[in-house]
Amino acid sequence: MKNDLLVLSGHEVAALLEGRDLELIQIVQSAYETHAQGESSLPHSVFLRFPFSPSNRIIALPAYLGGEVNIAGVKWISSFPGNLEIGLDRASAVLIINSSQTGRPEIIAESSIISAKRTAASAALAARCLQEGKKTTQVGFIGCGLINFEVARFLLALWSGIEKFVIYDVAMDRSKHFENRSLEAFAGIEVAIVQDVEAVLNQSSLVSIATTSLKPYIADLSACSPDSAILHLSLRDLEPEVILACDNIVDDIDHVCRAQTSIHLAEQKVGHRDFIRCTLADILIGKATARNNEKSLAVFSPFGLGILDISLGKLLGELALKQNCGTLVKSFLPEPWVRI
């Protein structure tokens, strides 16, 4: 058994995680809190870029998380926006889980589903904190891909009072697909497709942004109500001047201040990071308040931490073992050389 490897396909990952939205939010919260307590190792993500295809990239996210999880691993995730034009998903990924005792790989799992769900769980967790019990009936979505669809699912798991989605995408066919999938999956939800970003901002006090933009294009948030919360998941949509004018919450300060994110551009503009008020974990553990009254429009910019992926990976391994799911590759690792 020590030389075996469990392989989980996308279909198996989806089946194992189905209906566990609230559980995943709790796992993400625990991961953030454990990280905030210093029980983690989280090197910077490594970006593999292609000289003649600047929109394409493959990223490695290595991580170790201690506490009750006590697991290590790495996510290897690609983003090829052009895939959408040929009927493929933008992102594809694989997760490798290693034993923290021996370092030996134990699980290989399809990870685009894991990545989407951990991102959505993180966004929903942030929304719950930043909304502070505020009644939320309408949510705006800028970018109509898988990530925002999962965000919609996780928000609905937290708020039974959500009645309407206001959505926008530069491609109308993606907006229509998002609308159709939402009407099929979420009973009682109304979906309104609008023609520009400003309409989303104007009609929604909670907005999730998940696009493939490489550089900022939103220079004005005056259409938002003063108490709005922006879930800036794609990280490169807001101009640095907008970031500087808002109450900024991130997942990890060192990680988000790199790779030309909007937060990174704002840091380059002013030469410091003082405009970042706190991390989400600071709010969760009571170290910081949910809102800064001096800058009431809140923006959550999560870089995306590998500790979330491996936390879900550990859960998958446990569920697969209980349900006898996945493919066990016997003797994947060689016999120890010292015994030969």
Domain chopping of the chain, boundaries = 5-114+306-339, 132-301
What is the pLDDT at residue 135? 85
- Name the pLDDT band for 174 (thresholds 50, 70, 90): very high
Task: Indicate the average pLDDT of the chain.
Answer: 95
pLDDT tens-digit map of 1-25? 578 999 999 999 999 999 999 999 9
Amino acid at position 295, single letter? K
For residue 205, which of 221, 185, 190 has the smallest C-alpha distance? 221
Angle between helices 306-323 and 112-131 (to 10 degrees): 120
Count the Cβ atoms, other than its own, within 10 Å of residue 121: 30
pLDDT > 90? residue 56: yes
Average pLDDT of 315-336? Answer: 94
The share of the chain scoring above pLDDT 90, in percent, equals 90
What's the chain's Rg over C-alpha atoms? Answer: 20
- Gap between the Cα atoms of 71 and 110, Å rounded: 18
Q: How many helices (H) and strands (E) does the chain have?
A: 11, 16
- The answer to which of 29-33, 313-317, 335-339 has the lowest mean pLDDT is 335-339
- Name the pLDDT band for 294 (thresholds 50, 70, 90): low
Contacts of 68 (CB under 8 A, 6+ apart): 30, 34
CATH code for the domain defined by 132-301: 3.40.50.720
What is the pLDDT at residue 340? 59
pLDDT > 70? residue 198: yes
Contacts of 4 (CB under 8 A, 6+ apart): 328, 329, 330, 331, 332
What is the pLDDT at residue 276? 98
Higher pLDDT, 44 or 84: 44
Average pLDDT of 205-220? Answer: 96
The share of the chain scoring above pLDDT 70, in percent, equals 99
For residues 329-338, b (16+ Cβ closer than 10 Å) or e, as one string? eeeeeeeeee
Write out the two tokens for 237.
């949509």
For residue 151, which of 131, 123, 179 has the smallest C-alpha distance? 123
Tell me the β-bridge partners of 5. Answer: 329
pLDDT > 80? residue 302: yes
pLDDT tens-digit map of 28-39? 999 999 999 999
CATH code for the domain defined by 5-114+306-339: 3.30.1780.10
Average pLDDT of 242-258? Answer: 97
DSSP state of 335: P
What is the pLDDT at residue 1? 54
What is the pLDDT at residue 43? 97
pLDDT > 80? residue 327: yes
What is the pLDDT at residue 82? 93
Write out the two tokens for 147.
């990530």
What is the pLDDT at residue 229? 96
